[in-house]
């Protein structure tokens, strides 16, 4: 079947197989490999993208459902090579280690900030609950989001003994 879909403000018209997921369409159909597959079962959040302004696990959505939809992915987050404020805050706070969860994490963080412009640490943890990260332990991600939303209280990185 044929679908028309707008991804990161670029309109596409593509022939797809009916069983193809949105995740596979983005990665294999459009070459947007920044969005990752961590489990393929809607559990880990690595494949999170915006679908008509709301985040979805793109492994749980069929590409056919995206016909006529507006999709946003990590590739649309930076502008002409300039990191977004959210990305810059992740950079500053070392909120990235292996990087495999990062795209999904940025997407979920953006949605969280949309609903809570000034979230508390607890609201951030709640908002990121669907995104697994095995490397960072989340704390520096929480700090990055607190900082970009204006409520980060700077403290010593380490206590030296």
Partner 1 sequence: MYDTLDRSQLKNVGKSAVRLDVKEKLTGEAVYVSDMVLPGMLYAQIKKSPHARARILSIDTSKAEALRGVRAVLTGSELDYRLGLYVVDKYLLAKGEVRHYGEAVAAVAAESLQIAREAVDLIEVTYEVLDPVLNHMDAMKEDAPLVHPDLGSYDYIKAVFTPIPGTNIANLTKLRKGDVEQGFADSAFVVEREYDNPSVQHVPMETHVSIVKWGSGDRVTIYTSAQSPFTVRNLFCRTFSLPFNKVRVIIPYVGGGFGGKAGIHIEPLTACLSKKAGGAPVKFQASREEEFSLLPCRSALTYRIKTGVSEEGKILAQKMEMYWDAGAYADYAVNVTRASGYSASGPYEIPNAWVDAYTVYTNKPYGTAYRGFGHVEFHWGIERHMDLVAKTIGMDPLEFRHLNALRPGSITLTGEKITSHSGDVLACLDAVAKAIGYGKKSKEEKLREKESGLRIGKGIAILQKAPAMPSNTATAAIVKMNGDGTVSVAVGLTDIGQGSTTALAQIVAERLDFRLDQVFVKVEKDTDSDPYDWQTVASKGLIMSGNACILACKDLLQKGYAVASHVLKACVDDLGHDSEAVFVRHDPESRISWPQIALGYAYPDGKAIGGPLIGIGSYIAQGLSNLDKETGQGKPALDWTFGAHGIICEVNPVTGEYTLRKIASAFDVGKVVNPQLLRGQIIGGMLQGLGTAMCEGYIYDGSGHLLNPSFTDNKIPTAKDLPFEVETIAVENAQVDGPYGARGVAEHPMISVAPALGNAIYQAVGADLSHMPIRAEDVWRALHNKQPIDNWITKTPVGSCRSTPVLGSHSPSHALEP
CB of 161: closest distance to partner 1 in angstroms? 5
Binding site for partner 1 (CB under 8 A): 27-28, 32-41, 43-44, 46, 73-75, 77-78, 83, 87, 90-94, 96-103, 106, 124-126, 128-142, 157-161
Judged by beta carbon, residue 4 or residue 161, the one nearer partner 1 is: 161
* Cβ–Cβ < 8 Å for 58, 26: yes
Q: Which residues pair with 2 in a beta bridge?
A: 15
CB of 140: closest distance to partner 1 in angstroms? 6
- Rounded to the nearest 10°, the torsion over CA 98, 103, 109, 112 is -140
Judged by beta carbon, residue 11 or residue 160, the one nearer partner 1 is: 160
């Amino acid at each position: 079947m044929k679908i028309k879909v707008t991804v990161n403000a670029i309109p596409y018209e593509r022939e797809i197989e009916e069983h193809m997921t949105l995740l596979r369409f983005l990665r294999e159909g459009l070459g947007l490999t920044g969005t990752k597959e961590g489990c393929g079962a809607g559990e880990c959040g690595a494949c999170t993208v915006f679908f008509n302004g709301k985040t979805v696990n793109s492994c749980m959505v069929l590409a056919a459902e995206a016909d006529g939809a507006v999709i946003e992915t990590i590739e649309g987050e930076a502008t002409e090579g300039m990191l977004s404020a959210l990305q810059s805050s992740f950079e500053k706070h070392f909120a990235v280690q292996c990087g495999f969860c990062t795209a999904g994490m940025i997407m979920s963080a953006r949605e969280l900030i949309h609903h809570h412009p000034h979230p508390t640490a607890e609201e951030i943890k709640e908002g990121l609950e669907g995104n697994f990260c095995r490397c960072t332990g989340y704390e520096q991600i929480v700090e990055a989001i607190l900082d970009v939303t204006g409520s980060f209280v700077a403290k010593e990185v380490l206590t030296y003994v």
